Structure 1
């Protein structure tokens, strides 16, 4: 739960980096007015720092950084600041999964037990197989879990990179004989029958990537996604990153919390500069290619972005929203982030903060203001 205290941050610094490409030159005053509105929202909600960008085609045409990456030292947020992205991390999971499918190593309709070293079934429907497709569409029957009451001890905060490996904790939580198993880890629905957002399910999918590729998940992503896309300031692992550039996490204004990792780290613990993450978004906008690097075939990207449930807008881990936008939200203590793009206009936007505040998400003020800037490039 978010907490808001009447703490006024004095002397809020703003560091601005603005980039515009010549074919798209909107009115400077309109941008300045919108940027000032964003600043007022940041100050009014006591958000320690906020970073945002807009992409057109293959260029960052606008980016701006507000406030402090670390309040106590007055370290300003800038283009080198590394933010937690929470559930936006899942967009990397689907990318890795579909790379393996392209190589013929993973069948989306196969029983996951054909790949795993332990057998997984929903105990309520033991005769029904669970497939990678079910995990990609949040229809496996595995719980979110939404809180510690649903699955106790699931959301333990592990300092830095000390969380247990996927292969160790997953069977302990999802198999009936596991030490941390509770029946609420499974919903009473057949695989494929009902959509239910699941961090456990996407962590299991990342473990499939590990098993099939015979490579640690983070290492796989570094080799096959981050390196080709020149995402040199992106990783699931703190040890890979420059600690001096990490945005300090705040669970409420001016109250820092330590850097931590959840056990389901592939589902929600990617860290990156927002500029680096734009490379992945550009690749999706351009049919799987960024500059000269192709990470997915165009047909695969089309398959990923095919809407699977019109009621929810779910694609393969991406979400479809009104106006032909594809995106994903991320949020946890010390992190709020949102990213989205339009396929036809090839316009995208991203917002990230080191404080979990709802204003960055669709339907709220800061998102609406950044969308206003993005619309000038449609």
Structure 2
């Protein structure tokens, strides 16, 4: 018997296993450290519930919930807890726009008035067309005029005002919300200003060209194909036993925010969980595919995510190196991350990936804080630690 060869074979067999065990042990240590940081930030800030997921190379490698979905009833916040996700919803509207384009029902560069039952005309530039590309990059010149937009929030349930009625009243010169102040004094495509109502208008165009309400079109082309069976746009579509209470932390006071909805629901109305949003985000990062199920063609996903601003073709107030836009898809963190985030009463969410699509993070909290700097500091502190954990898993090939 050749003892030397046998020993070499045994060493070659066991060394990879030892490295794997060591890496797994280190991962457990990192996960415990992550738990400690998240809990500490929640305690110091007053966040009631937090849910998060880390995605590495298009796979969920970590997912967890902390605190409460309902503090009074002691219902824990889990990855399956449903809550409003605010402006991350805009990406769902964007997918629907791109799906309608795939089906040949609209063009990104056609005048939007081609598709609408009323006219949308910037009175400062009446001969300039507004396009879906403008709507999707926040360069349409449409602005969210206050207090009209804020007053549209309906507390107590879904909004009784329809999307179409609100938009007609906002854009029709005879409408009760109409004003020249609904538009910037900037030519479409030349100036960046974030606009919720512009996204709502894009969602309404999808309804007009497909003949389906946006919530049903989303269900047929996103939610069902990706297995997002607990996701919807309206309170009436959600299992309320899984739905989080939303909170407002003001000093030592913690107030419950009633359920609410908006007539402009395509700008922020999706209600889902960390778990199901992870499935959707993986599809966005993976050429439109999750678990073998297709949401969009890869070429369509690439068009949606292609950054639109360049050094010679950009809004006058944007530096493309630090801020850029795809179609209903944006860069953040100084241009180092891509995806979307959202803020609404009782809601702060992020769904972001690094530019390589190798490491991605989803983070929810069901609590508004009285000082934005506190939320920014503690929420971002958790967010940054989640990314560090993702890079550790990636680099150690766990």
TM over 0.5: yes
Q: Which position in structure 1 is the counterpart of 2:383?
A: 367
Q: Which position in structure 1 is the counterpart of 2:393?
A: 377
**Cα distance between partner residues in 2 of 1:87 and 1:263:** 14
Q: Secondary structure at the match of 2:256?
A: strand
Q: Which position in structure 2 is the counterpart of 1:61?
A: 61
User: How far apart are 1:255 and its partner, in Å?
Assistant: 0.9
User: How far apart are 1:24 and its partner, in Å?
Assistant: 7.7
Q: Which position in structure 2 is the counterpart of 1:11?
A: none
User: How far apart are 1:343 and its partner, in Å?
Assistant: 5.3
Q: Secondary structure at the match of 2:367?
A: coil
User: How far apart are 1:296 and its partner, in Å?
Assistant: 1.1
Q: Which position in structure 1 is the counterpart of 2:206?
A: 209
**Cα distance between partner residues in 2 of 1:236 and 1:24:** 41
Partners of 1:287 and 1:298 within 8 A in 2: yes
Q: Secondary structure at the match of 1:364?
A: helix
**Cα distance between partner residues in 1 of 2:78 and 2:185:** 47
**Cα RMSD over matched residues?**
2.2
Q: Which position in structure 2 is the counterpart of 1:279?
A: 279
**Cα distance between partner residues in 1 of 2:125 and 2:348:** 36
The yes-or-no answer on 1:171 pairing with 2:168 is yes
User: How far apart are 1:27 and its partner, in Å?
Assistant: 2.6
The yes-or-no answer on 1:262 pairing with 2:262 is yes
Q: Secondary structure at the match of 1:356?
A: strand
Q: Which position in structure 2 is the counterpart of 1:219?
A: 216
Deviations 1:290-319 (A, max 9, x none): 112111111111111111231522111211
**Cα distance between partner residues in 2 of 1:98 and 1:168:** 24
Q: Which position in structure 2 is the counterpart of 1:142?
A: 142
Which of 324, 328, 332 in structure 2 is aligned with 1:317?
Answer: 328
TM-score (norm 2): 0.84
Distance 1:126 1:158, change over 3 A: farther
**Cα distance between partner residues in 2 of 1:268 and 1:296:** 21
User: How far apart are 1:284 and its partner, in Å?
Assistant: 1.3
User: How far apart are 1:260 and its partner, in Å?
Assistant: 0.5
Deviations 1:93-118 (A, max 9, x none): 11000011111111111011111111
User: How far apart are 1:329 and its partner, in Å?
Assistant: 1.1
Distance 1:126 1:152, change over 3 A: same
How many positions carry a matched residue from both structures? 355
**Cα distance between partner residues in 2 of 1:101 and 1:63:** 34
**Cα distance between partner residues in 2 of 1:248 and 1:165:** 25
**Cα distance between partner residues in 2 of 1:220 and 1:234:** 13
Distance 1:165 1:23, change over 3 A: farther
Q: How does 1:228-377 map to 2 (within 5 A)?
A: 228-252=225-249, 254-309=254-309, 310=320, 311-321=322-332, 324-342=336-354, 344-357=356-369, 364-377=380-393
User: How far apart are 1:152 and its partner, in Å?
Assistant: 6.3
**Cα distance between partner residues in 1 of 2:259 and 2:235:** 9
**Cα distance between partner residues in 2 of 1:352 and 1:257:** 16
**Cα distance between partner residues in 1 of 2:104 and 2:376:** 37
Q: How does 1:67-216 map to 2 (within 5 A)?
A: 67-145=67-145, 147-148=146-147, 151=148, 154-216=151-213
Higher Cα Rg, which structure? 2
Structure 1, gaps ≥5 residues long: 1-20
Partners of 2:52 and 2:274 within 8 A in 1: yes
User: How far apart are 1:360 and its partner, in Å?
Assistant: 6.7
**Cα distance between partner residues in 2 of 1:139 and 1:24:** 47
Distance 1:189 1:275, change over 3 A: same
More displaced, 168-177 or 212-221? 168-177
TM-score (norm 1): 0.88
Structure 2, gaps ≥5 residues long: 1-19, 310-319
User: How far apart are 1:188 and its partner, in Å?
Assistant: 0.7
